[in-house]
Structure 1
Amino acid sequence: MNTHAFHFRGTQLHALPSGALFWPDQRLLVVSDLHLGKCARLVANGGAMLPPYDTVETLSRLDADLDATGAGEVVCLGDSFDSVEAGATLPEEAELWLTRMQAGRSWLWIEGNHDPGPVGIGGTHAAEARRGPLVFRHIATRDGFGEVSGHYHPKARLALRGRSISRACFLVDACRLIMPAYGAYTGGLWTSNAALSGLMEPGAQAILTGPKPLAVPMPR
């Protein structure tokens, strides 16, 4: 499996090309900011007439990552649904797809700012959760030692082999790990933004998603 392995707070983790995180010792797959139902919500609110393929693409990616890793447990780090209403009105085929992926697995929905309450889909719900030295929550905190979070949708821009590239990325330092957005139709925040550059320590790395995950010093 094409991943970037790294150590964080005494654990060995793998950054996947898709933006998922795998903890092999726990058979635990972590994803953040799926924003399921986003295109449907935009259309319902009078936005651009976008085909609702984002949910299918996101669930396809998640299904493939579950098969590739053999994960027995999944943690979704909040904003899994673009709104509470989007979670409640997810197409039947998407609900059935999620139900099939949940079968035989432990599945935890962490609450996000877009989906602050439980939705009527299987799994358990929590504001945050601790597993060994790691704490899973949606939004990073200033004193979040061992924290794995999402929310910011980080993306990096850098020159590589004479050309400029931009990719969604993981951010990691000695204290915290911020996940990229996993959803197919999500924007991002540049790593140079004060919200991220002020949060991450000077030695932070960015792990770029894409065909081959690549770790570089965090662009500031």
Structure 2
Amino acid sequence: MVPFSFCDEEMRLVGRALYWPREQALLVADLHLEKASFFARAGQLLPPYDSRETLERLALAIRESGARRVYALGDNFHDDGGFGRLEPHAAGMLAALTRAVEWVWITGNHDPSLEKAAGGDVVQEARLSRLILRHKAHPGEIAPELSGHFHPKLMIATRGRRISRPCAVASERRMILPAFGALTGGMDAGSTEILAAMQPASAIDAILPAKGRLVQYPLWRAAA
């Protein structure tokens, strides 16, 4: 786990997840469970194990962090029917996780009518201590905020090759988490859409863990 400070709170990056020690809370965004089965219905066949892989990754992050609460920040399933398509093994994994820790689902644009049958509580947004937790960043928000939706990736060219890594995007008071799901693509963290969603800000950075340390890459700075 890689520690850093956000809004005067100690946070830790656990792969693509964020752990908040004071709240014993693990935050993840954009699981997109059952994405493969969604595309399979339209004839685009993908390996049908994305939900298992995502839930295994999530279970590992819970164990590594010791979290007692999980907040999933929207697009938890790829569509509202995703929970009903879970095969028995993945459904059992999810049920075990939601029983083991306190669980809050925040709905997103892909799963606006998420069923409470998935376990835990289902809300449109939440507040944890001073921070607002929602699926998509609200441009103009001045309160501290954590969100997902954009699937940010740091994309840079170096030494003749292009590097792309999932990352968080952070300003002084707001952060967009990377997509956690196994079958999620990504958007350039420095895209105009992401930078616009993060305003107001004086500085916006991409942050990600690498070999036990925090990598911080500047994306945007306000004019002096």
TM-score normalised by the chain length of structure 2: 0.90
Letter in 1 for 2:29: S
Structure 2 CA distance for partners of 1:34 and 1:77, relative to 1, 3 Å: same
Q: CA deviation at 1:98?
A: 0.9
2:105 is aligned with 1:113: no
Matches within 5 A, 1:121-132: 121-132=118-129
Alpha-carbon separation, structure 2, partners of 1:23 and 1:178: 15
Q: CA deviation at 1:99?
A: 1.2
**RMSD value, Cα:** 1.8
Partner of 1:215: 216
Structure 2 CA distance for partners of 1:210 and 1:42, relative to 1, 3 Å: farther
Contact 2:38 2:82 in 1 (8 A): yes
- Report the 3-state secondary structure (helix = DSSP H, G, I; strand = E; otherwise coil) of the residue aligned with 1:68: helix
Q: CA deviation at 1:10?
A: 2.3
Q: Which has the higher strand share?
A: 2
Alpha-carbon separation, structure 1, partners of 2:220 and 2:164: 11
- CA deviation vs aligned residue, 1:181-204 (integer Å, no higher than 9, x gap): 000111111123211122333511
2:70 is aligned with 1:74: yes
TM-score normalised by the chain length of structure 1: 0.91
2:195 is aligned with 1:197: yes
Please list every run of 5 or more consecutive structure 1 residues that lacks an aligned counterpart in the other structure. none
- Pick one of 23, 42, 47 that aligns with 1:45: 42
Please list every run of 5 or more consecutive structure 2 residues that lacks an aligned counterpart in the other structure. none
Contact 1:10 1:133 in 2 (8 A): no
Partner of 1:83: 79
Q: CA deviation at 1:161?
A: 6.4
2:187 is aligned with 1:186: no
Structure 2 CA distance for partners of 1:210 and 1:96, relative to 1, 3 Å: farther
2:25 is aligned with 1:24: no
- Pick one of 19, 30, 33 that aligns with 1:36: 33
Runs of 4 or more off by more than 6 Å in structure 1?
none
Structure 2 CA distance for partners of 1:50 and 1:20, relative to 1, 3 Å: same
